[in-house]
Structure 1
Amino acid sequence: MFVFLGIAIIFSKDRKNINWKSIAIMLAINVLMAWFLTGFPLGRDIVKGAAAGFNWLVQVSYTGIEFALPNWVHVKSMNFITSALLPILLIVPMFDILTYIGVLPFIIKWVGWALAKITGQPKFESFFAVEMMFLGNTEALAVSGLQLKKMSAKRDLTLAMMSMSCVTASIIGSYTKMMPGQFILTAIPINIMNAIIVTNILNPVSVSPEEDVIYKMGASNAEADTQTTDTSGSELAAETQTKAAETEKREPFFSFLGDSILGAGKLVLIITANVIAFVALAALIDRLLGLVNPWLSLEHLLGIVMFPFAWLTGMDVSEAFKFAQYMGTKLVTNEFVVMGNVSPILHTFSKHFQAALTVFVTSFANFSTLGMIIGAFKGLVDKEKNDVIARNVGYLLLSGILVSLLSAGIVGIFVW
C-alpha cells in the first residue's frame, strides 16, 4: 500500500500542497471499511446480501429474456451475452427510474455532502465521487457540464483522473455473474475513496471557500450564475424540496422509460462489440508475436511488466505472475474480457488471489476509457481545458492503475 502511495507522491504535480490530514483520514476510513466488509461478520452479511440482491435482479431479468429467446436461456451453459449482458436491459431502466423519481439524486447529494464534511475535500469533488459510483464516468461528467465549465482546468483534471476508477451501478449485476459478488461490491466504495486519495496526491488543488461551490446541475447557460454554496444539511434539504420548481418540466414517464430501454440496448451492443473486438485483437497480437517466438504472447509480456506490482499485493511468485497477466490484459482490453477468461477457473486460486483480482478488475481503468473521458470533456469544456486533459493522459492512466492496485492491496490485507 505504501509503495503504491509512494509512487503517487513521486509523480505528484505539487507535493508541497498535498493535504496529508485529509489523505490520512480517507486512508483510515478505507482500511476500516475494507475490514468491516470482508473481515467482520455483519459487514460480510451486508455485501453478500447486496450481491444476492443483484443476482436476484439478474434472475428476474431472465424472465423477459426467456420470453423472447427461450432457446438462449434453457441451455446447460448460457452464453456470455445472455448470462452477463442481457440483464442490463432490466437493470439500467431500474436505476433510471430511481433517478427519475429523485431517489438516486437525493442519495448522491447527501452522501457526497457527508463525505466532504468527514474528509475535508472540496464539495463538488466529493459529490462527483459518489455520483460516479452510481452513474459511471461519462454519465457523471455529462450531468456535470456546468460545473466543469465553471471550475479551473486543474480541478477538471482531477475529475478526469477520478473518472478512470469508477463503474456503473447498472452493470454490477453482470459483474456478479462472473466474479465473487461480495468482492465486487466491496471494491466499489473502496475504489471511490482511493480515487480521491490518489488524485489528491497526484494533482493537489487548493480550493478557496469562494470556489468551493456546487452549481445547479442541469441548468442552462442562462442559469449559469445560479449556484448553491451547499454548506449545510438544511440548504441541501431546501434545494431538494425546490428542485422540481426550479427545473424544466420533466419528460413524460413512458417516453423517458422508452429512451432508457433503448439506451440499455445500445449499451449491450457496445459492450458486446468491444469484447469481441478486443479478444480478437489480443488473439491477433498473440499470433503475430508467436511468429517471432512461440513463447511470446501479450499475456506474457504484460505479466513481466506488471509482475512487481502483483507481487507487492501479497501473492507468491507463481500466482503473482498469473495475476500480473490478468492485470495487464485488463488495462489493454477491459474488465469483461478478464472476467470472462478467469471466471471458469477462479475457484482454483487462493482466496487472497480471488479477492485481489476481483477488486483490481472492478473499474473502468483501461486504455479505451481514456478515449471516452477525453471525448466527454471535448464536448463539455472549451479547447483550453480540453487540451490540459489531453496533455495529461499519462496521469489519467497512472491514476487508474494506482487506485486499482491500492484497492486490491487494502482488501487483500483482510482476505487470505
Structure 2
Amino acid sequence: MIAWSFGENRGAVSFRQVAIGVLATFATALVLLKLPGVAHAFDVVNDAVGAISSATRAGTSFVFGYLGGGALPFDVTNPNATFILALQALPIVLVMSVLTTLLFYWRILPPIVRGLSWLLGRTLGVGGAVGLSTAANVFLGMVEAPLFIRPYLAKLTRSELFLVMTGGMAGIAGTVLALYATLLAPVIPDAAAHFVIASVIGAPAAILISLIMVPETGTYRTGGSVDPAAECHGTMDAISKGTVAGLELLLHIVAMLIVLVALVYLLNAGLGLLPNLGGEPVTLQRLLGYVMAPVCWLLGLPWQQAVTAGSLMGIKTVLNELIAYLDFAKLPADALDPRSKLIMLYAMCGFANFGSLGIMIGGLGAMAPERREEIASLGLKSLVSGTLTTCLIGAVVGVLTWP
C-alpha cells in the first residue's frame, strides 16, 4: 500500500504480477531460511568469510604490524582500544574486490548470474536486460551491475529503468558484504550467511516494489551480456584491476566515514543547545528513532525496542548503512532481542541513502547521458523503493521467525 501510494500510473499495476512477486519473495525466504539443507550450505559462507577475514588480517599485520592486527608489543589494559577500523576491518574490501574480479574473469560467477536472470524472467516476467542487472546486484553494487546491460540502458522503458535503479538501492555489493558480516559477527550468529540470503531475496523483492511504484506500460526489452571482466588480460591483470577498484572504494569509505561522523557530531552539538527531552539530550539518533519507530514496529519489533531500532534505520537512510551497522554492533546486549537484531540486519541491508543516490545518478547518467534527466527524476522515488524493499525483506523474516 505504501509503495502504491508513492507510485505513478496506479491503474496500470498488474495485481497478478504483484501476487507472483509476493509469493516469489516469501518462497525464496522460506527456502533459504527454513530448509535444513540450505541452512547448512550457508555455513560454508560463514566459514569462507572467516577465512577471508583471517587472510586480510595476515596482510594488514604484515604491512602495518600491530596496528593492522598483529601481536602487540606491550601489555593491554583496554582491549577495545587496540581495534583500528581503517587498518584492521576496512581492508577486507580490497580482498573482496580482487576475489570478485577474479571470479568473474575465471567465468565462475557469470553462469550463476545468467541463471538468476533466467529464473527472474520466468517467474516475474521481467525482460532479460533488467533481469540480468537485478541478478547482478546480488554480487555487485548499484553502478557495477548496470554495466552488464550498458548498451540497453538508453532503450529501456521507464519502468525497466526504475527497476534497475531500485535493484541498486535495495542491495549491497559483495565487496562490502564481508565487511558488514565481520562487524556483526559478534552480535548475530551466521551474519555472513544472512547477508547473502538478504542479497538473494532482494532480487524478487526489488522487482515487486518497483513494478508497484512504476508499472510497465510498454514492451519489455530483452538481451544483455555477462562479461564485466572483458578488459582483463590475464589473472594478474584481473588482480591489479580488482586492487585498484577496491582501493578507490576503500578510500571513499574512509573519507565518507570521517566526514559523516564529523557532521553528526556537529549536528548533535547544535541540538545539545535545546532543552533536554525526557531527561536526556536531544540528538540526531534520538530524533530519527522517534520518526522511524513506527516503521520498525510494522516490521515486527516490540514497541519498546522500536525507537532504538528506528534510530539505526534513520541513520542508515540519512547517512549510510555502514555507520548504522557500526552503531548496531555497539548497542548494549539487551537493547534488542535476537529476533529484532535479525530483522534489522535484513531491513538495513541496502544502499538506499542519499549519498549512494548521488553516486547512482552520476554513474547511470554517464552510461546513458540521453536519459540523465529521467534518471534524476526517478532518483528520490528509487530511494523510497529501495528502502521499502529492504523493509519488506525484514518483515518477511519477522514473519518466518515469529515465536
Seq. identity, %? 22
In the alignment, is residue 312 of structure 1 matched against residue 307 of structure 2?
Answer: no
Aligned to 2:343: 356
Give per-residue Cα distances to partners, 1:48-74, cap 9 Å, x unaligned. Answer: 331222122111222222211221213
In the alignment, is residue 256 of structure 1 matched against residue 238 of structure 2?
Answer: yes
Contact 2:21 2:124 in 1 (8 A): yes
Match of 2:221 among 208, 212, 218: 212
In the alignment, is residue 174 of structure 1 matched against residue 179 of structure 2?
Answer: yes
Which structure 2 residues correspond to residues 101-180 of structure 1 after superposition, within 5 A? 101-179=106-184, 180=188
In the alignment, is residue 406 of structure 1 matched against residue 392 of structure 2?
Answer: yes
Contact 1:303 1:325 in 2 (8 A): yes
Is there any run of 5+ residues in structure 1 with no aligned partner, and where?
Answer: 1-5, 220-246
TM-score, scaled to structure 1 = 0.86
Q: Which amino acid aligns with 2:24?
A: I
Distance in 2 of aligned mates of 1:366 and 1:59: 30
Aligned to 2:275: 293
Give the drift of 1:331. Answer: 0.6
Give the drift of 1:282. Answer: 0.9
Give the drift of 1:411. Answer: 0.8
Distance in 1 of aligned mates of 2:232 and 2:340: 47
Distance in 2 of aligned mates of 1:105 and 1:78: 37
In the alignment, is residue 366 of structure 1 matched against residue 353 of structure 2?
Answer: yes
Answer with 354-363 or 24-33: which moved more: 24-33
Over 3 Å counting, the alpha-carbon distance change for 1:216 and 1:190 in structure 2 is closer
Give per-residue Cα distances to partners, 1:73-119, cap 9 Å, x unaligned. Answer: 13544322234211222221111011112222222112211221122
Give the drift of 1:406. Answer: 0.7
Q: Which amino acid aligns with 2:216?
A: V
Answer with 320-329 or 294-303: which moved more: 294-303
Distance in 1 of aligned mates of 2:11 and 2:37: 40
Aligned to 1:244: none
Give the drift of 1:26. Answer: 2.6
Aligned to 2:75: none
Distance in 2 of aligned mates of 1:248 and 1:145: 14
Which structure 2 residues correspond to residues 71-90 of structure 1 after superposition, within 5 A? 71-72=66-67, 73-74=69-70, 76=79, 77-90=82-95
Number of residues paired by the alignment? 381
Which structure 2 residues correspond to residues 212-251 of structure 1 after superposition, within 5 A? 212-216=221-225, 250-251=232-233
Give the drift of 1:414. Answer: 2.0
Q: Which amino acid aligns with 1:338?
A: A
Give per-residue Cα distances to partners, 1:205-226, cap 9 Å, x unaligned. Answer: 1343xx532145679xxxxxxx
Give the drift of 1:131. Answer: 0.7
Aligned to 2:207: 196
TM-score, scaled to structure 2 = 0.88
Aligned to 1:283: 265
Q: Which amino acid aligns with 2:221?
A: D
Is there any run of 5+ residues in structure 2 with no aligned partner, and where?
Answer: 73-78
Give per-residue Cα distances to partners, 1:196-240, cap 9 Å, x unaligned. Answer: 1100100011343xx532145679xxxxxxxxxxxxxxxxxxxxx
Over 3 Å counting, the alpha-carbon distance change for 1:101 and 1:183 in structure 2 is closer
Give per-residue Cα distances to partners, 1:120-157, cap 9 Å, x unaligned. Answer: 22222221111111111111123432110222344323
Aligned to 1:30: 25
Contact 1:133 1:169 in 2 (8 A): yes
Distance in 1 of aligned mates of 2:342 and 2:148: 33
Answer with 70-79 or 401-410: which moved more: 70-79
Contact 1:22 1:121 in 2 (8 A): no
Give per-residue Cα distances to partners, 1:358-403, cap 9 Å, x unaligned. Answer: 11121111110110111012211234x2111212332111111111
Contact 2:138 2:199 in 1 (8 A): yes
Aligned to 1:186: 197
Contact 2:163 2:211 in 1 (8 A): yes
Over 3 Å counting, the alpha-carbon distance change for 1:160 and 1:65 in structure 2 is same
Over 3 Å counting, the alpha-carbon distance change for 1:114 and 1:315 in structure 2 is closer
> What CA RMSD, in Å, does the superposition of the two structures yield over aligned residues?
2.2
Aligned to 1:397: 383
Higher relative contact order (CA 8 A, sep 6+): 1
Answer with 20-29 or 96-105: which moved more: 20-29
Distance in 1 of aligned mates of 2:131 and 2:259: 35
Distance in 2 of aligned mates of 1:398 and 1:218: 31
Over 3 Å counting, the alpha-carbon distance change for 1:105 and 1:307 in structure 2 is same
Contact 1:84 1:175 in 2 (8 A): no
Aligned to 2:76: none
Give per-residue Cα distances to partners, 1:164-204, cap 9 Å, x unaligned. Answer: 11211122111111123133222111222211110010001
Over 3 Å counting, the alpha-carbon distance change for 1:93 and 1:115 in structure 2 is same
Which structure 2 residues correspond to residues 14-29 of structure 1 after superposition, within 5 A? 14-29=9-24
- Tell me, what secondary structure is at the counterpart of 2:364? helix
Answer with 99-108 or 32-41: which moved more: 32-41
Distance in 1 of aligned mates of 2:94 and 2:356: 22
Aligned to 2:319: 333
